[in-house]
């Protein structure tokens, strides 16, 4: 069983179909990039894994446990299952396009908040862990800085350290570099590339930046109209795309 599995999943927003009979598996330790036009369903996919969105049909499992099962009525957002949603979310770290740091907390306090409040670690141990994680992303000397004193790239690296603080089994990146100025992308990409070398960490990366996909992924998928219409090993995907819509997308992005 894969680390993430979608089985015939459909998701609607009103009359709009976002995912359509969607089948998808990410194996443990695999690094997968998802490309697609705006509205193709790729960010919704991540939000379902993070239990931020429900599904309307099908089944989703995470690390061998059922996260959603529309037919069986399994919904971790229901009142009686709040404990289970916390348990499932503890397996997942998510890094958003916007950094979403607490502005009134320093970098080290931002990273320490999750282990303190979610894992129940005491303040001293949580701060020590946070300092260690900030060093891991190259920000040991910025631990006492507030977000307003950090560049966009530094803020996103703090956000990555914060996501790592719960020791997740899978890391989700939703356009994590697209809000950054071009000269700041490389510092975040360096951290993501280092994480990609960790065999046990599963990574699912939604991006429209082809360089990010090339640098991180073992496998690249192209989504269109709520389905994956092409996927393959990274070099094969970029070197010889088979689907006409994939080729058109890659050509448009490379020219932009």
pLDDT band at 76, cuts 50/70/90? Answer: low
CB–CB of 95/156 below 8 Å?
A: yes
CB–CB of 18/12 below 8 Å?
A: yes
124, pLDDT greater than 80: yes
Query: What pLDDT score was predicted for residue 256?
Result: 47
Between residues 73 and 252, the one the model is more confident about:
252
Question: Rounded distance, CA 170 to CA 16, Å?
Answer: 29
Between residues 156 and 120, the one the model is more confident about:
156
137: enclosing H helix or E strand? none
One DSSP character per residue, 58-124 reads: EEEEETTEEEEETTTTB-TTSGGGHHHHHHHHTTEEEE-SS----TTS-HHHHHHHHHHHTS---HH
Question: Rounded distance, CA 175 to CA 256, Å?
Answer: 17
pLDDT digits (tens, 9 = 90+) for 149-193: 999 999 999 999 999 998 899 999 999 988 888 888 889 999 999
Q: At what angle do helices 152-164 and 107-117 cross, to 10 degrees?
A: 20
Mean pLDDT, range 41-64, rounded to an integer: 93
Mean pLDDT, range 32-36, rounded to an integer: 95
Q: Residues 86, 19, 207, 193: is their CA dihedral positive or negative?
A: positive
Query: What pLDDT score was predicted for residue 55?
Result: 94
CA dihedral 152, 157, 158, 161 (to 10 degrees): 160
Query: What pLDDT score was predicted for residue 223?
Result: 94
Please give the angle made by the CA atoms of 145, 148 and 152, to the nearest 5 degrees.
100
Please give the structure tokens belonging to residue 216.
């991180």
CA atoms within 13 A on the CB side of 142: 23
Residue 43: phi, psi to the nearest 5? -70, -35
Query: What pLDDT score was predicted for residue 179?
Result: 82
Residue 109: phi, psi to the nearest 5? -70, -35
Mean pLDDT, range 122-134, rounded to an integer: 94
Task: List Cα–Cα distances, 148 to 17, 48, 154, 181, 191, in angstroms.
Answer: 39, 31, 11, 16, 21
Query: What pLDDT score was predicted for residue 77?
Result: 55
Q: Residues 176, 178, 179, 180: is their CA dihedral positive or negative?
A: positive
**What is the pairing mode between strands 219-224 and 4-13?**
unpaired
59, pLDDT greater than 60: yes
Question: Rounded distance, CA 52 to CA 138, Å?
Answer: 30
pLDDT digits (tens, 9 = 90+) for 184-220: 888 999 999 999 888 789 999 999 889 999 999 999 9
């Amino acid at each position: 069983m894969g680390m993430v599995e979608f089985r015939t999943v459909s998701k609607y927003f009103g009359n709009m179909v976002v995912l359509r009979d969607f089948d998808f598996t990410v194996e443990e330790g695999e690094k997968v990039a998802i490309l697609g036009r705006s509205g193709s369903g790729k960010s919704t996919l991540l939000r379902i894994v993070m239990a931020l969105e429900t599904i309307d049909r099908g089944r989703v499992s995470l690390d061998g446990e059922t996260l959603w099962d529309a037919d069986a009525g399994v919904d971790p957002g229901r009142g009686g299952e709040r404990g289970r949603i916390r348990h499932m979310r503890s397996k997942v770290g998510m890094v958003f396009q916007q950094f979403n740091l607490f502005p009134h907390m320093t970098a080290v306090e931002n990273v320490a908040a999750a282990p303190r409040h979610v894992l129940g670690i005491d303040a001293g141990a949580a701060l020590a862990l946070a300092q260690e994680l900030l060093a891991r992303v190259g920000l040991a000397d910025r631990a006492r800085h507030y977000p307003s004193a950090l560049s966009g790239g530094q803020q996103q690296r703090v956000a990555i350290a914060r996501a790592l603080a719960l020791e997740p089994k899978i890391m989700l990146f939703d356009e994590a570099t697209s809000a950054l100025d071009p000269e700041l992308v490389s510092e975040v990409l360096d951290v993501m590339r280092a994480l990609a070398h960790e065999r046990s960490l599963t990574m699912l990366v939604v991006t429209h930046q082809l360089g990010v996909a090339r640098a991180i992924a073992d496998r690249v998928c192209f989504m269109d109209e709520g389905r994956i219409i092409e996927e393959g090993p990274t070099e094969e995907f970029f070197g010889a795309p088979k689907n006409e819509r994939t080729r058109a997308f890659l050509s448009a992005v490379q020219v932009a």
